[in-house]
Structure 1
């Protein structure tokens, strides 16, 4: 009689593939053939996978999850702990959790424990290295993932938010968040992040499905909406990610992220205004002018002090949060206008001793900054972007509801209409 493998699942569909249900649920390698489905129907492949360390570890986690928590070896070991030992373990767990929460390298655990020693906090002499810190972090993540599973299980409907990013090793990563409402409490939870071989609709869809299946086996029956950016690969009518997810669940509502859409709308409207192009050139130039030159920066600070003003350096004009960066750049320019113009006038004078290139730049920036039309437009931008920035921050709140979003949008529209009809 052949060996019965409960974990091996045959997908009797057009693809005719095999998957490992244990590996799908507990493995972090979402690109493995036994996760996405293998069409190689060979006993050798099944045996090789069964003997692999990754499958063995996933099977152990599955066995531990299926058993009673009170009878597991980990819980029995914790019960047997003495109070001093338990205190040391709690402090170590807190240190590792703080490192992960603040995106610090695990190597910081060494000096954190040394600092605890100096403060008289008990952390013991063991587990004070990055390797053991990674083990602690694994169990912290496992507990957090269980909390997410319990919440998704209690929710009747869920919404998915997903976006792509590039990590420090220049690899494309797909991030997935889940939005739930349980007992009237709205909550947004980070579900997972996984690398994608290529940022196309097929690979992104596979990544989203893999992440969701690791925390909720019936997520496709509960999902009602998915929020993405406006890229064609995500919202394409024929083969976009949203369209692919609708093949099995046609009632899913695709939502273009409102905060992202607000930024794009403002860019499309403002880019054709010549005054804005001049303001962009001025603010970007001032940021570079003072950012790359310590001498210019020091002289600007001196100019602020001579006028009795608090120093405010020109900031970057663009960035990922474009409205916020624009608002801060315009605000710093207007509040530090006197000091900036005074320093530019001093720099472009013949007796300043500055290089001719610096004098030419200072002369150009001063001429643009003193233009009354530019100055008035900067004031208009400051008023306008402050309201749009507040709207953007409201839309980005993790617990905002549709009704609150609509209210914020309507109030901002009312303010903008007043600006439109105001006469100066």
Structure 2
């Protein structure tokens, strides 16, 4: 899983130039001075800036007293020199500009070198050239320049090995051995910062710096955000809260918001008051202040737990007490599962079918011998073997589709294996009876009909589930998707002429399915009309609402949901009448502007322009459209983080604290590949906070690790 190399490019106007130069998510575009590309990666320095500012890259900027040959020779001798407007500067000092623990009395930066303002002096050209040589040599041997070189060198000695350990999901204890290996290869790795504790500190520092730059960017520009949370249990059996953020940072071209992992919080308990307190504390830690949240916190999404969406004292209710216009949304994927579960409980025959699949799963998942036998039968019939799992359980419906598909495609192999095992004298009488009963079950007409029916239904439901899980799915789109699917199920309840169920009906007439003879047995046959009608009704009651409550369409919450969807549809030109009145939709635009805390008058003006052109969204309407697409419909991102947490917090790292797991998740899944990792910014911020570098001399150096030390201990 690659979470947020996922967060890719969105173009925004630079609101604050001083901010842009410090953001991890900003890169200056070489073609458009007004455009920056937000990329969530390690590189906070613009590599193109380095090449553009370097005098050795631009022959037109060097001093006029030099020839081209002189200029190239000078660049080879002093590669750190940069030129601008025929004046010299120091690229190394510009990058560092903070000595921190390296600073001692009498050492200071030469402003003329950091500002690229070193000029010539003298009457003749010879004197001017000599003055530049003297100034450059004097700066090269200065203590300030030497200290800056040491700071930049430190990034290669320690930060990169730490990044490798984090990105490759290795334990912190690998660092001392990696350091020793680099020493054996002839590299100078310094004296300190070689321990596993140093590795953890550096990894946490990188994660904190990255988070700060991204969240500061969002806060500085007042972007609207949605918060997604879900509860999880770590490997150490601690209850944690996964927090993700969705924000739309695009004010130009792109339309998709960004969704990224923010924090992993260890919960003291699972009470709603505690969750709210710790959630707001975490948001405040990352500079999302109460004032910012009042204006920009527009949506909160969670699962169906009672402590989350309880009407009287749930997390959603407590948050709306603090932020009255906050939209509380119960994850659509979870609600889809609840709707399917309602159908299972309502329609006769489904539970019998589900129980048989549980038996198949237990038969093959717990016995390598049985699984190998089924594979052999599939190979004999030249069939692709597919694993059989459980259906209609706590997992999402897409996994149930895989199990139904496996039985449908491996039906002939299943029959062959059951038949062989029922006649195998090496098996016990109980086992042979089990296989014989299973063979009789799958050759009944009702089983084949039920299999085809669920194959059709789960194909439809799986497509909905996967669509809702996409990060780019917006609330209006999900509403239209559900409405369309309800109509499809209502139509299928009247007639079922195509698909796998039709193929099963043909088998009923011929009493043969995939070359296997069937026998009549309609004892547990599912009524397809009742089944599809139940699906349509439960989708309507569960999905067309803000919460998961099984309520009628006339309830107060359903009415509010319908009214809110009508407001959003005003922004969709496809929903406009053929002849649009000049004041069409203005009341809805005003209501949405008040809900999302956006300038009402500007939005109305922008909407009037939008009605005129119908194709290009005006700039003064974009804040409203961005707020709408920031609304989330699913907490699937949190579910992805659960899988990621199991990878990061593995058996070799089972003693990690939750805060360290959070830092590792951030670097590994929000960060870019190692080939794009540039550690300059993190080295500078590390040193500026008073932390020591690897070659610091006023401390005890770490003892080298040798095989004798590991096996026999130190003397």
- What is residue 205 of structure 2 aligned with on the other side? 139
Gaps of 5+ in 1: 1-67
Q: Deviating runs (4+, > 6 A) in structure 1?
A: 74-78, 110-118, 120-123
| Alignment partners' CA distance in 2, 1:96 and 1:383 | 46
1:163 matched to 2:237: no
Q: 1:152 to 1:310 in 2, by over 3 A?
A: same
In the TM superposition, what is the alpha-carbon distance from 1:219 to its structure 2 partner? 4.0
| Alignment partners' CA distance in 1, 2:182 and 2:439 | 54
Q: Give the structure with the higher percent helix.
A: 1
1:312 matched to 2:386: yes
Which residue among 235, 248, 266 is the counterpart of 1:195?
266
Q: 1:354 to 1:205 in 2, by over 3 A?
A: same
The more displaced of 334-343 and 128-137 is 128-137
Q: 1:84 to 1:163 in 2, by over 3 A?
A: same
Helix, strand or coil: the match of 2:383? coil
In the TM superposition, what is the alpha-carbon distance from 1:78 to its structure 2 partner? 9.3
Which residue among 172, 175, 181 is the counterpart of 2:239?
172
- What is residue 288 of structure 1 aligned with on the other side? 362
1:392 matched to 2:458: no
Q: Describe the superposition over 1:69-111 as per-residue Cα deviations: whole angstroms up to 9, x where unpaired.
A: 84363899994248776445463243134135xxx54446678
| Alignment partners' CA distance in 2, 1:304 and 1:78 | 69
1:94 matched to 2:163: yes
In the TM superposition, what is the alpha-carbon distance from 1:336 to its structure 2 partner? 0.9
Is the contact between residue 89 and residue 123 of structure 1 (CA under 8 Å) also seen in structure 2? no
| Alignment partners' CA distance in 2, 1:235 and 1:312 | 39
Q: 1:355 to 1:264 in 2, by over 3 A?
A: same
In the TM superposition, what is the alpha-carbon distance from 1:271 to its structure 2 partner? 2.6
| Alignment partners' CA distance in 1, 2:436 and 2:361 | 16
Is the contact between residue 176 and residue 211 of structure 1 (CA under 8 Å) also seen in structure 2? no
The more displaced of 120-129 and 238-247 is 120-129
| Alignment partners' CA distance in 2, 1:275 and 1:78 | 78
- What is residue 71 of structure 1 aligned with on the other side? 98
- What is residue 51 of structure 1 aligned with on the other side? none
Which residue among 319, 322, 341 is the counterpart of 1:248?
322
Helix, strand or coil: the match of 1:362? helix
| Alignment partners' CA distance in 2, 1:75 and 1:219 | 38
Q: 1:337 to 1:364 in 2, by over 3 A?
A: same
In the TM superposition, what is the alpha-carbon distance from 1:265 to its structure 2 partner? 0.9
Is the contact between residue 159 and residue 179 of structure 1 (CA under 8 Å) also seen in structure 2? yes
Is the contact between residue 344 and residue 363 of structure 1 (CA under 8 Å) also seen in structure 2? yes
Q: Describe the superposition over 1:137-195 as per-residue Cα deviations: whole angstroms up to 9, x where unpaired.
A: 11221122113312431233221111111222222111221211122451112221212
Is the contact between residue 97 and residue 137 of structure 1 (CA under 8 Å) also seen in structure 2? yes
| Alignment partners' CA distance in 2, 1:75 and 1:393 | 54
Question: Quick check: which has more Rg, 1 or 2?
Answer: 2
TM-score, normalised relative to structure 1: 0.73
Q: 1:296 to 1:96 in 2, by over 3 A?
A: same
Is the contact between residue 212 and residue 219 of structure 1 (CA under 8 Å) also seen in structure 2? no
Equivalent runs, 1:17-416 vs 2, <5 Å: 70-71=97-98, 73=100, 79-81=148-150, 86-89=155-158, 91-99=160-168, 105-107=171-173, 130-153=196-219, 154-184=221-251, 185-215=256-286, 216-217=288-289, 218-221=291-294, 222-317=296-391, 320-349=394-423, 351-416=424-489
Is the contact between residue 191 and residue 211 of structure 1 (CA under 8 Å) also seen in structure 2? no
Q: Describe the superposition over 1:41-83 as per-residue Cα deviations: whole angstroms up to 9, x where unpaired.
A: xxxxxxxxxxxxxxxxxxxxxxxxxxx9843638999942487
In the TM superposition, what is the alpha-carbon distance from 1:276 to its structure 2 partner? 1.6
Q: 1:155 to 1:407 in 2, by over 3 A?
A: farther
| Alignment partners' CA distance in 1, 2:432 and 2:182 | 54
In the TM superposition, what is the alpha-carbon distance from 1:289 to its structure 2 partner? 0.6
Q: 1:122 to 1:187 in 2, by over 3 A?
A: farther
Gaps of 5+ in 2: 1-94, 104-145, 498-715
- What is residue 12 of structure 1 aligned with on the other side? none
| Alignment partners' CA distance in 2, 1:69 and 1:352 | 79
| Alignment partners' CA distance in 2, 1:128 and 1:406 | 55
| Alignment partners' CA distance in 2, 1:238 and 1:420 | 38
Q: 1:418 to 1:82 in 2, by over 3 A?
A: same
Q: 1:251 to 1:331 in 2, by over 3 A?
A: same
In the TM superposition, what is the alpha-carbon distance from 1:414 to its structure 2 partner? 4.3
The more displaced of 107-116 and 363-372 is 107-116
TM-score, normalised relative to structure 2: 0.45
Is the contact between residue 95 and residue 112 of structure 1 (CA under 8 Å) also seen in structure 2? no
Is the contact between residue 229 and residue 242 of structure 2 (CA under 8 Å) also seen in structure 1? yes
Is the contact between residue 91 and residue 122 of structure 1 (CA under 8 Å) also seen in structure 2? no
In the TM superposition, what is the alpha-carbon distance from 1:321 to its structure 2 partner? 3.1
In the TM superposition, what is the alpha-carbon distance from 1:257 to its structure 2 partner? 0.8
In the TM superposition, what is the alpha-carbon distance from 1:197 to its structure 2 partner? 2.0
| Alignment partners' CA distance in 2, 1:272 and 1:409 | 21
In the TM superposition, what is the alpha-carbon distance from 1:115 to its structure 2 partner? 9.6
| Alignment partners' CA distance in 2, 1:370 and 1:170 | 45
Q: 1:282 to 1:147 in 2, by over 3 A?
A: farther
How many pairs align? 352
Helix, strand or coil: the match of 1:286? helix
Is the contact between residue 387 and residue 403 of structure 2 (CA under 8 Å) also seen in structure 1? no
Is the contact between residue 222 and residue 292 of structure 2 (CA under 8 Å) also seen in structure 1? no
